[in-house]
Structure 1
Amino acid sequence: MAPMDRIGYRNAVVRQPESLAEGLNIVRDALDALDLQAFRGKSIGFAGIGASYQAAMVGASYLRDLGIRSFPYCPTDLYGAVDSAAEAFVALSASGQSREISDVMGLRPHLPRIAICRGRDNPLAELTGAVIPTGSGSDNGASSTGYTGMLLAIGMLCDRIADQNAFQEWIRLPSAIGDLLKVAVPSASAAAVLLQNCSSIDLVGAGAGFATAGEGAMLIREAVRIPAAGWDTLNYLHGPMESQDARTGVIAFGNGRETKIAEDMAGFGCPSVLITDRSDIPSAKNLVVIKVPSLSNTVADAIAQIIALQMIVGDMQDAAGLTNITFRYRQTDTKLKPWSPTEV
């Protein structure tokens, strides 16, 4: 399995074709060794915090696409309602050290539980008794490979729970991401220039795109230190967009109502970026369009969309003089072991 060292932001972003290719085989082997019968026919809860909560939202959305009742949970919602939240749980923590996830999984020893983490040797994996290692390896502190590797593992797990034979579709993902990392460089750079002087940025998407908006907002806050917020597409139309002007930015993910939001906001003078697989919408004044590939499913599309945003953030981080920064406000009570600046 790849080493799990802290590396530079851009190094982590560009190694994702490699990390995803390695993860495909690591996750498949782990799934082959697991008996998932206890998860079938049950409602599934995905539990995560921070970036892992956004991944939980993607997983629940995809599993519902496959016809299975599923819900994402932040730990706050799971300290109570022990037997009424879901009938089985997928616990998400890249490090396996998140205190809150261990807390709420510890309250449910009688339910089927499985962890998704970078590796096998961690407290959460020991607690749940079953783990899928993502094998995502080295990463930056703002989670590039860790987030996309977790999404890959979630997608492959969902396929197995739903008895879908989709591995051949996943095999195409690393090369598609490799192409994206090459062809999207000019548009990502243009988007970064458009956004880098914004006082705040709203990110908008629906379904799994809402999760991508949330993860993108956290990434911008962590890596560029600009206030940002993720919004559900339709909810955004009911008031939140009213504060936008030429000083604030918007990034929309998707192919539907999101396209009109991006175009309308650009027309109002708001710096706007649209990340979409549509090819019929050109960039315009105040609007940069980044074309991403249309992939096999909800999770694969979410991986492509967040990587496009990671590229934008890399340019913004460098322009702000914040290249490879670490967190200023590291909390001391969120992990089960002391934090080290050399680890991810």
Structure 2
Amino acid sequence: MTSQMRAEIGEQPDALRRTIDALLPRTPDIGALARETRQVLFIARGSSDNAAVYGRYLVEAHAGRLATLAAPSIATAYRRRLDLSGVLAVAISQSGKTEEIVETLDWARDCGARTVAVTNGAGSPLAEAAEVALVTRAGAEIAVPATKTYTTQLAALSVLGLGLGAAVAEDDLRRVPDEVARMIALTEDSPALPEIVEDLAKVPGTVVSGRGIAFGTALELALKIKEACYLHAMGLSYADLLHGPIAVVDAQTPALLVAADSGPTLPGTVALARRVRGAGAHAFGVGGGPELAEACSAALPGPALPEWVAPLGLIVPGQIMVENLARRLGIDPDVPRGLNKVTQTD
């Protein structure tokens, strides 16, 4: 029986196409805010926070603006006022109803920031609180693990990058929906999929690593493994992994390595795969082209997209792997224990 999570994974090409078509005309609105700001502050939790990591690398690497991740507790618990003049505050929430995120965006505005919301909730409190609301067109998402709401958030952040002056090609973004459809078919047919699933079903946990623009994808994949499969999964930049935690990688703790098919972090990811295998552990690749596939024990295909938009397709093989792994472990991926679709934090 097909899970709701798997059905929603399959809806991503259409959801992305609707979102991109709806949001690209909003780049002038973002550009108007860009002229009055110097840096970007991302406000998010959970999967949205992983999307924000992508946004941060995109803005810094391609739009030349300093970008940081907010600590919402500064606003909601410590209640400290900061000087946010010259800051563009971008709040990200799938539902737009997480009170902490709405409160933090209100705080940022009161501290002098200009404001943008990224949400799938049209008319939500978050959308109403922002000067510019980038409302994604994912449609209703029933399964608790975010799939299409996550990838459409990445699409919205790609549009944000374009509006902030990122030196990238808009046509790359327009190619994403078709490439995601191709990725779904390729992953389902990949002989590496059952191999990786069977191996992960036998171990208590894994390390998930990427770097740069792919780092958010590694964090999101680790989160999905934890919430849908109940396995320990440590999401790390490979630079941090090499500073000590690599000691946990062994025959019982394989590494999942995520990379775009090109870009400055690919050689380091390939080198890490070889080091992991040299230590007697399995290294499983997601993306990274033939170089990473050759260095890994097994690898899932990645999207044929430039690095700046690769994360929109790169997470998709991971989503399919997680859904298959959950069912292999006898877990319903649609309703992970202890989780709800909208999480409230204080």
Q: How does 1:1-344 map to 2 (within 5 A)?
A: 8-31=4-27, 34=29, 36-40=31-35, 41-66=37-62, 67-76=64-73, 79=76, 80=80, 82-83=82-83, 87-109=87-109, 110-139=112-141, 140-162=143-165, 166-185=169-188, 186=190, 187-254=192-259, 255-282=266-293, 287-298=297-308, 300-330=309-339, 334-335=343-344
The one-letter amino acid of 1:265's match is V
Q: Residues 183-240 of structure 1: CA distance to partner in whole angstroms, max 9, x if unpaired?
A: 2222233221221222111111111222111111111111111111111111101110
In the superposition, relative to structure 1, how do residues 156 and 24 fare at CA in structure 2: closer, same or farther (>3 Å)?
A: same
- Measured in 2, the distance between the counterparts of 1:282 and 1:125 equals 42
- Measured in 2, the distance between the counterparts of 1:124 and 1:106 equals 9
The one-letter amino acid of 1:242's match is A
Q: SS where residue 97 of structure 1 aligns?
A: coil
Q: SS where residue 291 of structure 2 aligns?
A: coil
Identity value in percent = 21
| Contact kept in structure 1, 2:218 and 2:258, CA below 8 Å | yes
Q: Residues 47-98 of structure 1: CA distance to partner in whole angstroms, max 9, x if unpaired?
A: 1111111111110110111212222224235554622597111110010011
| Contact kept in structure 2, 1:119 and 1:135, CA below 8 Å | no
Q: Under a length normalisation based on structure 1, what TM-score does the superposition of the two structures give?
A: 0.87
Q: CA RMSD in A?
A: 2.4
Q: SS where residue 280 of structure 1 aligns?
A: helix
- Measured in 2, the distance between the counterparts of 1:201 and 1:146 equals 25
Q: SS where residue 207 of structure 2 aligns?
A: strand
Q: SS where residue 325 of structure 2 aligns?
A: helix
In the superposition, relative to structure 1, how do residues 76 and 280 fare at CA in structure 2: closer, same or farther (>3 Å)?
A: same
In the superposition, relative to structure 1, how do residues 201 and 334 fare at CA in structure 2: closer, same or farther (>3 Å)?
A: same
Per the TM alignment, residue 283 of structure 1 is displaced from its structure 2 partner at its CA by: 5.2
Counting matched residue pairs gives: 327
- Measured in 2, the distance between the counterparts of 1:221 and 1:86 equals 38
Per the TM alignment, residue 331 of structure 1 is displaced from its structure 2 partner at its CA by: 7.1
Structure 2 regions of 5+ residues with no counterpart?
Answer: 260-265
Per the TM alignment, residue 332 of structure 1 is displaced from its structure 2 partner at its CA by: 11
- Measured in 1, the distance between the counterparts of 2:99 and 2:316 equals 28
Structure 1 regions of 5+ residues with no counterpart?
Answer: 1-6, 337-344
- Measured in 2, the distance between the counterparts of 1:113 and 1:208 equals 24
The one-letter amino acid of 2:132's match is A
- Measured in 1, the distance between the counterparts of 2:286 and 2:46 equals 22
Q: SS where residue 91 of structure 1 aligns?
A: strand
Q: Residues 153-180 of structure 1: CA distance to partner in whole angstroms, max 9, x if unpaired?
A: 0011110121657332211111111111
Q: Residues 263-303 of structure 1: CA distance to partner in whole angstroms, max 9, x if unpaired?
A: 3223333232112332134457x7112231241342x2112
- Measured in 2, the distance between the counterparts of 1:135 and 1:30 equals 14
